[in-house]
Structure 1
Amino acid sequence: DARFQPLSLTRARRQRLERIRRLVDQGAILPPVELYKLRDEYYVIDGNHRVAVAKENGQVEIDAHVIELLPGGTRPEDRLYLARRAFVGETGLHGVEVSQIGGYERLQEEIAAHRLSLAAEGKGQPTLREAAADWYRRRFEPVARMLAARDLPRRAGRTAGDLYLDLATWRAANSREGSGMTWEEAVAHLEALYPVPSLCERLAMAWAKLTDGARALLPGGRREPLPCPHAYAGPDGAIYCLRTGRLTRHQPPSPPARGAESTSP
């Protein structure tokens, strides 16, 4: 089960659990458990009883040998996972998440530029991880706090990393045009794109989402996939989107023209 307790507690399993509990109480060092890692999830190959006792004791860490299974990298989600894995491995930053292909590479370029700027400021030759930590503290974290204070990740339906990249792009474009834009101005511009929905709009969205879920359970209910995770079907049969925080209508696809219908038998 979720506590790694055997679903069928036979006598042998009970005795093994008791033996491991005694060893832990005596301060014995147990052998590492064997795990498979698939993306961000771990699966126990050997050591379920040791994990069960560790969870009983409120233990948050355990010695383990981990075999990581990497995806092939052909699907977009696989490419994104591998890019994040490489980003974390090189920078040590676990708290930055993006959902767009190429996003982690852009962040790595920005961190590399930040590393050069630190050297130009006479701060020695920082390692990539040192530069990444400084970039996170001085650049990303303050912007992420501004975004969170305005609830923009939820209102936009995107991660703080995605929004940070948008803001950085706007600032770079304004700089090329000769008019600078501060981070505060960029965040204010972003906030204007995602206005807070009114109470009536929030109630309408909640009701439409509820009725769409109920309709899908009925015979003949909606079964076709929605265009994005933020979409839902309204009571009028049209599809609406939550990304902007307002009822933005997506017109359902038009039926094919009569002349375009297939004439094959």
Structure 2
Amino acid sequence: MQPPYRQQARQEWDQAYRKAYWVNLLSTLQGRQVDLLDFNEISHRLHLTSSIYRGVQVVPLEKIVGSVGRYNDFNRAFLPRKKAMQERWQAVAIMYLNPSSRGLPPIELFKVGNLYFVRDGNHRVSVARQLKIHDIEAYVWEYPAVLPLTGGKDSVERVLMESEREVFLQHTQLDTLCPDHGLYLTLPGGYTELLGQISRYQQVLSRIDEQPIPYEEAVVAWYDMVYETTIGILEKTGVFDQFPR
């Protein structure tokens, strides 16, 4: 006979692992993203620098949306994706299920806006969610964000795009140089690609004129000759009828 709580922990693992399989399969068929967010990517794209320690707090589990290093091991609901995680996951579950255990220490979280990312304690979050626990104790370090990070995946992507656009506009001064530009992108990384285009265009213009071209002049020339020309061609061909701007 299995020791107390071990059988229940095994059953909880089986349910969680099975749910993860079906969620991943359904997301593939529907083309939806259910991955945890990668804190390092968020940090890079939002230009996060230093954090402030906020002490021990009780955090709603639904607000934990990503991980520092284990974002591939769990899906967005913190369901386990890898069979190799079973032994450790069940050991954590036994600690939760056994009322005579000493309990578990607080996890460690990074906070950005109103969302949290696991620095340490991914298995504890996964088990707690499977057991329908709503809150968890955590040591919290907060990263002040320039833009508010408040919602789900769509909100996060929107904020990241706004952050990229802000960096692009600060670097190019396009709002000042071409105040009626109306340049908006919807794909992550697009503004970084445009910065590369402008730099290459500046080099081309400098070779043609056989003298250095100021960056501001290159920005205006790129916008007028490359961006606006390309948009005009796409409008004439009816591409935007299939992909609304």
TM norm structure 1: 0.31
Higher relative contact order, chain-length normalized (CA < 8 Å, sep 6+): 2
Which protein has the larger Cα radius of gyration, Structure 1 or Structure 2? 1
TM norm structure 2: 0.33
Structure (1 or 2) with the greater strand fraction? 2
